[in-house]
Amino acid sequence: MTAYDPENIFAKILRKEIPSFRVYEDDETYCFMDIMPRSDGHCLVIPKTPCRNILDATPAQLAACMATVSKVANAAKAAFNADGITLQQFSEVAGGQEVFHLHFHIHPRHEGVSLRPPGTMGDMDVIKSNAEAIRAKIDQ
């Protein structure tokens, strides 16, 4: 398996070398908004320690991420009055992965509304206010 690259964009976000809209963090995980949102409230949960994806993550990294996914998913569902949540995880190029630091996509979903296609930059003011809406529903 290819080695973890500490210059990947999410590692830079963790080091605060590039900005992000924070939703939640604890000692082990960080949650922030996706800047090309495929749903309103699309956010990402990552471990603070390095791993590429589901194939090299430790049980402890996965457990920490899932605890945060659960917390944020419930908050996002409430914030957007959603009917459900889609959780996505892509591993390696063949699996659809583009950024090689383990991440879980959280999408609030409404019945009959499809995910938007990937790759379109969102409106930063909207993304910022969506982050605030989710944060407001998390009891920390």
Catalytic residue numbers read 103
90 binding ligand 5GP? (CB under 6 A): yes
Residue in 17, 26, 60, 96 binding ligand 5GP, rule: CB under 6 A: 96
Provide the pairing of β-strand 84-88 with 104-109: antiparallel
CB of 100 to ligand 5GP, least distance (A): 7
Site track 9-28 with ligand 5GP (rule: CB under 6 A), x = hit: x----------x--------
Decide: helix, strand or coil at residue 107.
strand
**Nearest Cα to Cα of residue 50 among 104, 105, 102, 96:** 102
CB 45 within 8 A of CB 103: yes
What CA–CA distance (Å, rounded) separates 97 from 25? 23
Q: Report the residue number, 52 or 139, with the smaller CB distance to ligand 5GP.
A: 52
Residue nearest to ligand 5GP (CB): 36
Which amino acid does the sequence have at 4? Y
Residue in 54, 66, 99, 138 binding ligand 5GP, rule: CB under 6 A: 99
What CA–CA distance (Å, rounded) separates 97 from 137? 29
- Applying CB under 6 A, the residues found at the interface with ligand 5GP are 9, 20, 32-36, 90, 96-99, 103
